[in-house]
Amino acid sequence: MALSGTPVENRLEELWSLMHFANPGLLGGRSDFDERYAKPAAEGDGTAMARLRQRVGTFLLRRLKREVAPELPPRTEAVLHCDLDEREREVYDAVRAASQRDVVEALREGGSTLLALEALLRLRQAACHSGLVPGQSADSSSKVTCLVDALESAAADGHKALVFSQWTSLLDRVEPHLQAAGIGFTRLDGATRDRAEVVGRFQSEGGAPVMLVSLKAGGTGINLTAADHVFLLDPWWNPAVEDQAADRAHRIGQQRPVTIYRIVASDTVEERIVALQSRKRALAEAALSGGDPSAALTRDDLLALLA
């Protein structure tokens, strides 16, 4: 038996791997699976996806959260757009120009995707905070200002909030602005020694209204139902990882509606990452429940993100 909340995160081969463990031979060998299902899916072949669903359906038991926990309050998602200021735009455009000049050409010629991933990392950092870019420094950023404004409003209305980032260095840059605004906060990341104590303090009625959380350290395995606002500070292209983070608040024990905010810098790679997330969700739905099959990821996706 195989148990997973996310049987398809990035590509169909993940579903093949689960089935290969639980029922060897059901979907054939890896190369055969690619030819019969993965490649047709990339080309938008709905017939192939229908065959795949029929093949695995007998051996797949799927239960959505709304089915097993219907008492949960609603979960709403929203995107908060922020505009880079003039200096931030200069830094971002410089990083983008370097990526297009060196990386995109190499990628088109069949070069390693590692260079593309490094370029994407720099672009994402520049969209969040210029100080994250090597050789640059900045006291704040448009995104941090947008976040603090939203947290001030939430705290004033009696809400508690989680702030997730994959970079602890970005959380470091948020802290002084929360202190300046008089917003109490706690923090959970890989350096936290007593996770239970930090979680208990936040969950208590008199606890701080904000918790800063690193995506890896706090994205799974803890209950933070005292929060009903979740801010995703830097969008990640794997939507399942973000969903797991948001579910720290939207889980059994939550009594209030939960709102998930993605803070996205306008006219940056982050907008294309959000679009890519939609395609990945569509891929999972096409394999498990029907839907748009043309959501497989290719080298062209990296080119589109860097374009």
User: How far is Cα 152 from Cα 213, in angstroms, rounded to an integer?
Assistant: 18
| Residue scoring higher pLDDT (206 or 88) | 88
pLDDT band at 292 (very low <50, low <70, confident <90, very high): very low
Q: Half-sphere exposure of residue 209, counting CA atoms within 13 Å on the CB side?
A: 19
Which residue is associated with the tokens 């695995």?
A: 56
User: How far is Cα 237 from Cα 166, in angstroms, rounded to an integer?
Assistant: 12
3-state secondary structure of 263: strand
Six token digits for residue 287 = 């394999």
Six token digits for residue 166 = 């994959």
Determine the residue type at 75.
Answer: R
Question: Is the pLDDT score of 294 beyond 50?
Answer: no
What pLDDT does 306 receive? 67
Q: Judge contact between 59 and 19, C-beta under 8 A.
A: yes
What pLDDT does 24 receive? 92
Neighbouring-strand partners of residue 81 = 264
What pLDDT does 68 receive? 76
User: How far is Cα 80 from Cα 53, in angstroms, rounded to an integer?
Assistant: 36
User: How far is Cα 106 from Cα 119, in angstroms, rounded to an integer?
Assistant: 12
Q: Judge contact between 296 and 16, C-beta under 8 A.
A: no
What pLDDT does 293 receive? 40
103-144 per-position pLDDT tens digit:
777 777 776 667 777 888 899 999 999 999 989 989 999 999
Which residue is associated with the tokens 């395995």?
A: 221
DSSP assignment letter at 175 = H
DSSP state string for 213-259: EEHHHHSSS---TT--EEEESS--S-HHHHHHHHTTTSSTT--S-EE
User: How far is Cα 258 from Cα 107, in angstroms, rounded to an integer?
Assistant: 41
Q: What is the mean pLDDT of the chain?
A: 86
pLDDT band at 296 (very low <50, low <70, confident <90, very high): very low
Which residue is associated with the tokens 């190369």?
A: 31
| Residue scoring higher pLDDT (6 or 73) | 73
pLDDT band at 45 (very low <50, low <70, confident <90, very high): confident
Q: What angle do CA 258, 198, 183 make, to 5 degrees?
A: 65
DSSP state string for 60-72: -----HHHH-TTS
Which domains does the chain show, CATH number per domain? 13-62+270-306 (no CATH), 73-84+139-266 (3.40.50.300)
Question: Is the pLDDT score of 295 beyond 60?
Answer: no
Q: What global pTM score does this model have? A: 0.78
Question: Is the pLDDT score of 253 beyond 80?
Answer: yes
Q: Whose CA is closest to 254, among 76, 74, 65? A: 74
167-205 per-position pLDDT tens digit:
999 999 999 999 999 999 999 998 888 999 999 999 998
DSSP assignment letter at 113 = H
* Interval 54-73 mean pLDDT: 82
What pLDDT does 199 receive? 93
| Residue scoring higher pLDDT (278 or 206) | 206
201-220 per-position pLDDT tens digit:
999 988 999 999 998 887 77
Which ranges in 45-134 belong to alpha helices (H)? 46-57, 65-68, 86-98, 105-108, 113-128
